Structure 1
Amino acid sequence: MHKQRVVFVHGLGSFGAAAWPKQHGLALRYDCLFLRRHGFDPVAEPLESDISADVAILVDALADSGGGHVVAHEQGAISAMLAAVERPDLVFSLSLVEPACLSLTAELPATASHRALMQPLFDVRSQLGDADYEREYFRRAYAAEAGGLQTPEARRSARRLRLQAPPWEAPLHIVPGVPTLVLTGGWEPLYEEIAGYLRDTGALHRVAAGGHRPQDSADGDRFIRSFIADVGRGLSVRAS
């Protein structure tokens, strides 16, 4: 029996399969691919972010199997939505976890406040060292302390963070006709605002515990699995 493909697109932190520990078991039922976005490599030096390259990586992964479901976290949701606009024939469904789709809600209060807080940091990022940028980014975005640069992996992560473009610059559009789940952690008004916007345009919105990574909670994982299964059953019925 042919397995439907599910492609996972990570956010800013861990990448590849490491970004989706609760979802590994889906490989028993689906043809799962855990992508690495452009510039994310366990050994090579990080590169400037490139949304077009991310979209191409995702489209190639979908085209290889004639289409599939896409599950994306944080900034990975940007390339997921753009891929669905470019090739809606290949995207069976979108599951967007805490999507950093700020260009959709640029005029709304939580997004405008976040941009006002973060824009000055982005404006001077080329003048800052990786450690200073990471420290200030975590302080502003999460009111938290950065983890420090004790290991080569941590140093690459800090460099990679500084090389990411502001998410509000992405040329996003609503994706009509593609079944969409938005999963948030209920902890941050910014992501709830984005989820509300997407819900008003037809998406299903669910909230699960887990902060910025609700996909790691039992409820969040269940919401993702149920949504993909429901859409997949509908596709199977139409194909039969």
Structure 2
Amino acid sequence: MRQERIVFVHGSGSFGAAAWRTQHVLAGTYDCLFLRRHGFDPVAPPVPTDFGADVQIVVEALGSGGHLVAASQGAVSAMMAAVDRPELVWSLTLAEPACLSLTRELPATRTHIELVSNLFARRWELDDEAFLSEFVSLLYGVPATRPVTALARRGAARLKLQAPPWEAPLSIVPGVPTMVLTGGWEPMYEEVAAFLASTGAAHHQLGGGHKPLDTPEGMQYLREFLEHHGGKA
């Protein structure tokens, strides 16, 4: 019997295996694929978001079926893939999902959109570093680290090209076991989690800020969720 597959879908920062350092330990038990979404490349120039291309990458990685684990903006393409091909997704774990098109009319999400949409409207007037600094300040309340390496500068350029997550064509995932983990620090993510819980998802609020899956509790919840919905290989 082959190892069960887990497909990991990163957010807007680190990508590939670098985005999942805490989850590498699962590679001893599972067939782990750490994706690079469309336009995320360590060398090639960044390109704008392509939700359809992201979905294709996720579906191809699932092969004949497996588990999906996604963080932040990666949850958008993971959910879209699960809607398109639910028969391939044995379980769906979303850490701090930025699925804002589902909750755009709710208070915390609406406030965030009003705040950040102004930045996106002005992004072509700003250089990459200025956009990064203002984006990080708006989301986290701290100044961004100046990008000094070529990789960091590409990351800043890539961030400016990303489509706002509230523009994603999302809908509810039908019949796929779903778990949402949040850090309890940002009302917007709790609002998304509560919405998904109202549709049947399990929701666990943990510590860890924007990385609840990296906490010991988050990893324990993930292991148990994978085991409960596994055995289909």
Query: Is TM more than 0.5 here?
Result: yes
- Determine if contact 1:207/1:220 at 8 Å carries over to the other structure: no
Runs of 4+ in structure 1 displaced over 4 angstroms?
none
Question: What secondary structure, in the 3-state scheme, does the structure 1 residue paired with 2:92 have?
Answer: strand
Partner AA of 2:6 in structure 1: V
What's 2:17 paired with? 17
Hey, what's the Cα distance between the residues in 1 that align with 2:137 and 2:30? 39
What's 1:194 paired with? 192
Question: Deviation of residue 208 (structure 1)?
Answer: 1.8
Question: What secondary structure, in the 3-state scheme, does the structure 2 residue paired with 1:52 have?
Answer: helix
Partner AA of 1:112 in structure 2: R
Question: Deviation of residue 209 (structure 1)?
Answer: 1.4
Question: What secondary structure, in the 3-state scheme, does the structure 2 residue paired with 1:232 have?
Answer: coil
- Report matched runs for 1:61-140 at 5 Å: 61-63=61-63, 66-140=64-138
Question: Deviation of residue 119 (structure 1)?
Answer: 0.6
How many residues get paired? Answer: 233
Question: Deviation of residue 96 (structure 1)?
Answer: 0.4
- Determine if contact 1:94/1:178 at 8 Å carries over to the other structure: yes
Identity of aligned residues (%): 59
- Report matched runs for 1:1-240 at 5 Å: 1-63=1-63, 66-233=64-231, 235=232
Hey, what's the Cα distance between the residues in 2 that align with 1:40 and 1:121? 22
Partner AA of 1:168 in structure 2: W
Per-residue deviation, residues 159-179 of structure 1 (Å, max 9, x unmatched) = 011010000000100012000
Hey, what's the Cα distance between the residues in 2 that align with 1:166 and 1:97? 18
Question: Deviation of residue 29 (structure 1)?
Answer: 1.1
Alpha-carbon RMSD: 1.0
Please give the TM-score of this superposition, normalised by the length of structure 2: 0.98
Contiguous gaps of at least 5 residues in structure 1: none
Question: What secondary structure, in the 3-state scheme, does the structure 2 residue paired with 1:149 have?
Answer: coil
Partner AA of 1:24 in structure 2: H
Hey, what's the Cα distance between the residues in 2 that align with 1:217 and 1:43? 31
Contiguous gaps of at least 5 residues in structure 2: none
Question: Deviation of residue 220 (structure 1)?
Answer: 1.0
Hey, what's the Cα distance between the residues in 2 that align with 1:225 and 1:76? 20
Partner AA of 2:129 in structure 1: A
Please give the TM-score of this superposition, normalised by the length of structure 1: 0.95
Hey, what's the Cα distance between the residues in 1 that align with 2:106 and 2:84? 26
